[in-house]
Chain A
Amino acid sequence: MRRYLARRLLGTVGVLLGVAAITFLIMRLLPGDVAQMLLSEWGASAEQVKTLRRQLGQDEPLHPQFARFLWRAAQGDLGRSIHTHRAVVQEIVSQFSSTLQLTLAGLIIGVGLGIVLGVLAAFRENTWVDGVSMGLALLGVCIPNYWLGLVMIYIFSLRLGWFPAIGVGGWERLVLPAMVLGIGVAAVIARLTRSSLLEILRQEYIVTARAKGLPQRIVLLRHALRNALIPVVAIVGLNFGNLLSGAVVIETVFSRQGLGRLTITAILGKDFTLVQGTVLFSALVYAVTNLLVDLTYAVIDPRITYG
Chain B
Amino acid sequence: MALQPAASRFDERERTLVAEPARRQGWRVSLLARLARRRAAAAGLALLVVLLASAVFAPRVSPHDPVGIAPQDARVPPGPAYWFGTDQFGRDVFSRVLYGGRTSLGVGLIAVAIGAIPGTLLGLVAGYRGGRSEAVIMHVMDLLLAFPGILLALVIVAALGPGLAKAMIAVGIASIPRFTRVVHATVLSAKQNLYVEAARAIGAGETVVMFRHILPNVFAPLVVLSTLGVGLAILNAAALSFLGLGAQPPTPEWGAMVAETRDYLRAAWWASTFPGLAIMLAVLAVNLVGDGLRDVLDPRLRLR
Contacts and interface: CB of A to CB of B under 8 A. Distances in A.
A and B pair up: yes
B157 A283 contact: no
A242 interface: yes
Contact of A142 (B148, B150, B287): B287
A153 B258 CA distance: 14
Given A22-B143, A142-B231, A144-B239, A150 B272 contact: yes
Given A142-B287, A267-B158, A241 B148 contact: yes
A81 to B, nearest CB: 14
Given A144-B280, A252-B243, A283 B287 contact: no
A104 B151 CA distance: 19
A52 interface: no
Contacts, number: 136
B157 A245 contact: no
B33 to A, nearest CB: 24
A141 B160 CA distance: 28
Contacts of A26: 155-156, 158-159
A154 B284 contact: no
Interface string B250-261: 000001001100
A143 interface: yes
Given A142-B284, A150-B258, A252-B243, A283 B147 contact: yes
Interface residues of A, number: 50
5 contacts: A15-B146, A26-B159, A138-B287, A263-B154, A267-B245
Given A141-B287, A153-B265, A158-B266, A248 B160 contact: no
A297 interface: no
Contacts of B276: 144, 147, 150-151
Nearest to A267: B158
A286 interface: yes
Contact of A144 (B159, B160, B238): B238
Minimum-distance CB pairs A-B, first 9: A245-B149, A241-B148, A147-B276, A30-B159, A18-B143, A142-B283, A267-B158, A286-B148, A142-B284
Contacts of A10: none
Interface of B: 139-140, 142-144, 146-151, 154-162, 231, 235, 238-239, 242-245, 255, 258-259, 262, 265-266, 269, 272-273, 276, 279-280, 283-284, 287-288, 303
A139 B140 CA distance: 33
A154 B265 contact: yes
B216 to A, nearest CB: 29
A23 B243 CA distance: 20
A263 B243 CA distance: 11
A109 interface: no
Nearest to A11: B142
A53 B266 CA distance: 46
A146 B156 CA distance: 21
A15 B143 CA distance: 6
Contacts of A264: 154, 243-245
A141 B159 CA distance: 29
A143 B277 CA distance: 8
A245 B151 contact: yes
B124 to A, nearest CB: 23
A31 to B, nearest CB: 5
Contacts of B148: 240-242, 244-245, 282-283, 286
Interface string A252-280: 11000000000110111010100100010
A282 B151 CA distance: 9
Nearest to B275: A147
A249 B242 contact: yes
A31 B162 CA distance: 12
Given A138-B287, A154-B265, A279 B149 contact: no
Interface in A103-155: 138-139, 141-147, 150-151, 153-154
Contacts of A154: 265-266, 269
Nearest to A289: B148
Contacts of B156: 26, 30
A101 interface: no
A102 interface: no
Contacts of B245: 264, 267-268
A281 to B, nearest CB: 11
A177 interface: no
Contacts of A270: 158
Interface string A221-253: 000000000000000000011101110110011
A141 B265 CA distance: 24
A209 interface: no
B266 A268 contact: no
A270 B159 CA distance: 8
Contacts of A296: none
Given A146-B258, A252-B243, A268-B244, A244 B157 contact: no
A22 B279 CA distance: 31
A92 interface: no
